[in-house]
Amino acid sequence: MEQTVSRGDRVIVDLREYRGSKPKPRDVLIFSKDGTFFIKRVLAVGGDTIEGKNGAILVNHQPLEESYVLHLGNAPVGLNEFGPVEIPSGELFVAGDNRDVSRDSRLPEFGLVAEKSVIGKGLYIIRSKWKRVGTDLRNGD
């Protein structure tokens, strides 16, 4: 999630957000996978089809507009070219905002994230050595 959330940042998380609703595309989630906590952005939810083509990400055949994404270059082919993947109900396709180096759902060994593993929704950065305190993680822009 580098550029949006960096190593060492402290984030306020709403632990109740998804008790009465489901994660939506662009939400920044905190979830547990294989005993590790991750913070990633939702790109697709159950019922969506997602694919990577020529470095662009398409959800339901529409390119995503993502101003928050960071590209450093030299991404492995599997991060730019994948799918199409049909997302089953109860699953999420997630990715980090630093797309060229993120370990996320684009990689088969990481895979999809079960909605039941979601801990909460990222809201704000409250402490950062990069002077980004107060950054709103909810708007997705």
In a domain, 42, yes or no: yes
Give the E-state strand segments of 15-98 in sequence order. 28-33, 36-45, 49-53, 56-59, 62-63, 82-86, 91-95
Task: Quote the pLDDT of residue 130.
Answer: 60
pLDDT by residue (tens digit) across 64-78?
988 877 777 777 777
**Domain range for residue 54?**
10-127
CA distance 38 to 96: 9
Provide the number of structural domains found in the chain. Answer: 1
In a domain, 5, yes or no: no
Mean pLDDT value across residues 13-23:
93
Place of tokens 């906590």: 37
Mean confidence (pLDDT) of the chain: 86
In a domain, 51, yes or no: yes
In a domain, 25, yes or no: yes
Q: What is the largest CA-CA distance in the chain?
A: 40
CA distance 62 to 51: 10
pLDDT by residue (tens digit) across 86-103?
999 999 999 988 888 888
In a domain, 43, yes or no: yes
Contact of 122 with 88, CB cutoff 8 Å: no
In a domain, 108, yes or no: yes
In a domain, 105, yes or no: yes
Which CATH number covers residue 34? 2.10.109.10
